[in-house]
Amino acid sequence: MTEVKDISFIIPVYNEELNITRVLANLYTVLSQHTEWHSEIIVVEDGSTDRTREVIKAYLKELPDSQLILHERNLGYTKSLKDGIAKANGHFLMYIGADEEFDCSELPLFVEPLLLNQADVVLGIRWQRNAYQLFRFFLSVIYIFLLNYLFKLRVNDYNWSQAWSKELLQNIHLRSNSLFILPEIIIKAHDLNYRIKEVPSNHRGRQYGKSSVNLKIMGYALFEAICFWRHRKSSHYSAGEQSRTSKISTLKFNA
């Protein structure tokens, strides 16, 4: 019988052989300090062409409560995230990038509001993006502005580490096949009146390798956003079946 967990951490991975070990080590260090979370780790290896798969297999042998999903060819970030969500046994789920840009010491900011029933969705907000090149920084700013304008929201960051209740994810159908998948979750959570909380998060920048995000990928995400915007305005749109009282709140802090 599958053991139900409090929270599942989902890590999609593609060609991150120099980063993934440190990500898993930092994650496990935090989880060892918070055994009360009753957590599990789900790594989705997306057909990497370097030694990422071998590195993960060797490391996960030392980690309890972990699952490894293998793609025999590269199916993309969105498919990896969806497969991880489908396999998760937690009441709550959290997405973590495999590039070590997220600081796992911040995990309590995401997990505790969920476990204390203070939120249904927790969004990490990168207030400072010092590791970004100027061009990518402006792309991100424009992308956030356009999404907020289209969907009449006031979200400060759509594509960083996020945590969600499984109830929400079971209550929605994810249409996106691009980076728009994370904004889609946020928008549908808002439409269904789930409680959304924003928390500050430090963007560290990757130590090794190069981000695969480019104009083509961002362009396709924006294309899907516009398609979803049109669908959301139509009479056929239904975010899900349940309804709650929603509020987006931001944790105040000193930059």
Residue 133 is predicted with a pLDDT of 64
pTM, to two decimals: 0.89
| Boundaries of every domain in the chain | 5-250
Across the chain, what does the average pLDDT equal? 88
Residue 49: CB atoms within 10 A of its CB come to 11
Architecture of domain 5-250: Alpha-Beta Complex (3.90)
Asked whether residue 90 carries a pLDDT value surpassing 70, the answer given is yes
Task: Report, as an integer, the average pLDDT of 129-142.
Answer: 69
Q: How many residues does this entry show for the chain?
A: 255
Question: Do residues 243 and 187 make contact, with C-beta atoms less than 8 angstroms apart?
Answer: no
Taking only the tens place, the pLDDT of each residue in 146-181 is 999 999 999 999 999 999 999 999 999 999 999 999
Taking only the tens place, the pLDDT of each residue in 205-239 is 777 666 666 668 778 999 999 999 999 999 989 99
Taking only the tens place, the pLDDT of each residue in 6-22 is 999 999 999 999 999 99
Q: Is 200 helix (H, G, I), strand (E, B) or coil?
A: strand
Q: How far apart are CA 156 and CA 19, in angstroms?
A: 27
For helices 77-87 and 181-191, the axis angle rounded to 10 degrees is: 50
Question: Do residues 250 and 207 make contact, with C-beta atoms less than 8 angstroms apart?
Answer: no
